Structure 1
Amino acid sequence: MNTGVRITAFAAAVAATFGTAYGVGKGIGPVGEPPAKAAHGEHASAPAEPGKAAEGTAPAGAASAAGGLQVSDGGYTLDLETPTPAQGRSVLKFSVKDAGGKNVTAYTTEHGKELHFIVASRDLTVFRHLHPVRAADGTWSTPVDLPAAGGYKAFADFRPAAKGAKGITLGADLAVPGAYAPQPLPAAAPTATVDGYEVALGGTLVPGRAGELKLTVSKDGKPVTDLEPYLGAYGHLVALRAGDLAYLHVHPNEGGPGPVVSFTATAPSAGSYRLFLDFQHDGKVRTAAFTVQAGPGGAPVSPPASASTSAPSDEASHDAGGHEHG
């Protein structure tokens, strides 16, 4: 299990929040190719040229809609059967109910899954990207490891198979009983280290305006050029806003297989965000986590000249891992 973070998670109706793109710089002008169409169905807004607002996004400085803040939306409700799981290893059970109170049993498969499920701690120091299993009656279950007592939030990201249905991200609270000692938000740093891999972050997160984020993966001072597809892409990015755990989730467009995984992103508001990049190499998924600031107080994050630099890194001192399958 990777160490690194406690947090919040996954998105859907975040059309006006994070759009995906290929090839990114450190918050500078457009790269050689314009961003391709967002890869996450209707969960992302239309692509935009870096530095310009994507179609459907708010104008610069304006707040955008954020996902995962409601337990019910669009006639669907996330029903947690295990809202107070035990500390440590346990099993989470839940269902998605339609407007008539019946369990949803038909979903549209997106990125290899009918439903994506994320659990994060309220202080953004624990992050779990889970792959639950659905029973015939529409009940989902998944093992999970929640290492500390306190508040967590679960996110279900899915698209019902009903005709005309759009992608939805629902969020519900979890509470792990026990003595709770919240941790401070990890400090911003240009690199993160996980399992011997170093990931460098470059770019700028700007409220209401599309900006580029570039994540470069290296190991032992050498760029990793053979990343493996994970959920249909060479990287998978989740962003959570500190405070209310507003959720943003995007995939990169065509490109790869490394060392660069890039995205175009629009923050819904000013504030602190925690970014979680899932990437797969040598058959294992790892998560690199970063803290970034959008708006006042925020500044471009410049990646180090080489991934082997000794620049401060977001070491695996927080539990950012967690890729468990039911």
Structure 2
Amino acid sequence: MNTGLKITAFAAAITATFGTAYGVGKGIGPVVADKQPAEHAAHGEAKEAEAAAGGGHGGHGDDKSAPAAGGLQISEGGYTLALENPRVTTGDRTQLRFSIQDDNGRKITAYEREHGKELHFIVASRDLTVYRHLHPTRAADGTWSTTADLPAAGAYRAFADFKPAKKDAGAITLGADLAVSGNYTPAELPAPAATTNVDGYDVTLTGGLLPGKSSELQLNVAKNGKPVTDLQPYLGAYGHLVALRSGDLAYLHVHPNGEPDDGTTKPGPDISFTATAPSPGTYRLFLDFQHNGKVRTAAFTVEAGKAKAGTEADVAKQEQESPGHKH
């Protein structure tokens, strides 16, 4: 493919992506986390804007009044995610630089630490086949930088999940579009499956997402047919889960029911989460877990409101019990 054709294909891919995101975003409601605190609501935004695309970091509240998930807006509550290089090339050492800026364009340098980090930075391709949970470093002037392995060209979304060190400031998740140049071929979303294998580990998902109701997602980790009972803490938990909705990539960030050293939570093989989906739809779940000093990511496709084979009884039970998020 010559250079002119590459540029044309790239521009067409970006245009198609923006159109898809707009259409899907208007067609279905945003993802919500079970019981999210009021402080996580958007600051200084009209109620209509909050309902359409509010900030969202998994937390506590009730299903009827839970605010929208984050990542749908580049600016919220007086903060903006500013990517210094929104167009990059593919590769295993792709450089990414960004900052969080206030309404006056000043870079933010003070953050509250959440789950061991000042800021969580996630990059996912629009087709949800590439997912990276990155740990950028912050310079004194407020500029964050990191490298990423982005193996495929196309449209991506970058998410910054943080809490400003400011009185009465809540947690915020901002999202910005990232374009990776090159020959672009969109991939189909993997079909729903109860088990996936990553780096020799078999991870099995039990339960499902329920529209408008809290439900438990339990993940079991095994290797060579044996349960893994010595998972290591990662970001203050035995597992870290992010859910992204197919289409607009609305972002839901939750943590397990229980934590290390709480006297009841075991280091595997099971890790459970509680979450709520607002409506039927397709979601991609990404579980980060650590074992033998290395973090792996297991991914699942889930149809909200549809039970997987063999788990119908589990979903029906969840509908009746609606367990709380023990965080």
Q: Give the TM interval when normalised to the shorter protein.
A: 0.7 to 0.9
State the shift of 1:43 in Å.
Answer: 2.6
- Compare CA radii of gyration and give the structure with the larger one: 2
- Assess if the C-alpha contact under 8 Å between 1:201 and 1:302 holds in 2: no
Partner of 1:224: 228
Does structure 1 residue 183 correspond to structure 2 residue 193?
A: no
Structure 1 residues without counterparts, runs of 5 or longer: 1-14, 21-41, 47-54, 304-326
> 288, 294, 304: which one pairs with 1:294?
304
State the shift of 1:45 in Å.
Answer: 3.4
Does structure 1 residue 257 correspond to structure 2 residue 267?
A: yes
Partner of 2:284: 274
Does structure 1 residue 17 correspond to structure 2 residue 32?
A: yes
Does structure 1 residue 85 correspond to structure 2 residue 88?
A: yes
Partner of 2:138: 134
Higher relative contact order (CA 8 A, sep 6+): 1
Q: Distance in 2 between matches of 1:302 and 1:200?
A: 12
Q: Distance in 2 between matches of 1:98 and 1:288?
A: 35
Does structure 1 residue 153 correspond to structure 2 residue 168?
A: no
Does structure 1 residue 71 correspond to structure 2 residue 77?
A: no
Partner of 1:37: none
- Give the TM-score, by structure 2 length: 0.75
Q: Distance in 2 between matches of 1:184 and 1:43?
A: 28
The 10-residue stretch of structure 1 (64-73 or 182-191) with the greater mean CA deviation from structure 2: 64-73
Does structure 1 residue 104 correspond to structure 2 residue 108?
A: yes
Partner of 1:56: 62
Greater per-residue helix proportion? 2
Q: Distance in 1 between matches of 2:213 and 2:154?
A: 34
State the shift of 1:44 in Å.
Answer: 2.5
State the shift of 1:281 in Å.
Answer: 0.2
Partner of 2:316: none
Distance change in 2, residues 1:219/1:164 (3 Å): same
- SS for the counterpart of 1:200 is strand
State the shift of 1:300 in Å.
Answer: 4.2
State the shift of 1:301 in Å.
Answer: 5.7
- SS for the counterpart of 1:79 is strand
- SS for the counterpart of 1:85 is strand
Structure 2 residues without counterparts, runs of 5 or longer: 1-29, 36-55, 259-264, 312-327
Partner of 1:45: 59
- Assess if the C-alpha contact under 8 Å between 2:203 and 2:220 holds in 1: yes
State the shift of 1:302 in Å.
Answer: 4.1
- Assess if the C-alpha contact under 8 Å between 1:160 and 1:167 holds in 2: yes
State the shift of 1:189 in Å.
Answer: 0.4
Deviations 1:256-282 (CA, angstroms, capped at 9, x unpaired)? 200000001101322100000000000
Q: Distance in 1 between matches of 2:216 and 2:309?
A: 11
Q: Distance in 2 between matches of 1:69 and 1:268?
A: 15
Does structure 1 residue 144 correspond to structure 2 residue 148?
A: yes
- SS for the counterpart of 1:129 is strand
Distance change in 2, residues 1:165/1:302 (3 Å): farther
Partner of 1:196: 200
Quick one: which amino acid aligns to residue 72 of structure 1? Answer: S
Aligned length: 255
Q: Distance in 2 between matches of 1:77 and 1:301?
A: 43
Quick one: which amino acid aligns to residue 270 of structure 2? Answer: V
- Assess if the C-alpha contact under 8 Å between 2:34 and 2:62 holds in 1: no
Deviations 1:208-261 (CA, angstroms, capped at 9, x unpaired)? 110010000000000000000000000000000000000001111322200000
Identity %: 67
Partner of 1:311: none
- Give the TM-score, by structure 1 length: 0.75
- SS for the counterpart of 1:268 is coil
- SS for the counterpart of 2:88 is coil
The 10-residue stretch of structure 1 (247-256 or 100-109) with the greater mean CA deviation from structure 2: 247-256
State the shift of 1:201 in Å.
Answer: 0.2
Distance change in 2, residues 1:301/1:141 (3 Å): farther
Q: Distance in 2 between matches of 1:220 and 1:177?
A: 39
Quick one: which amino acid aligns to residue 239 of structure 2? Answer: G
Q: Distance in 1 between matches of 2:31 and 2:137?
A: 30
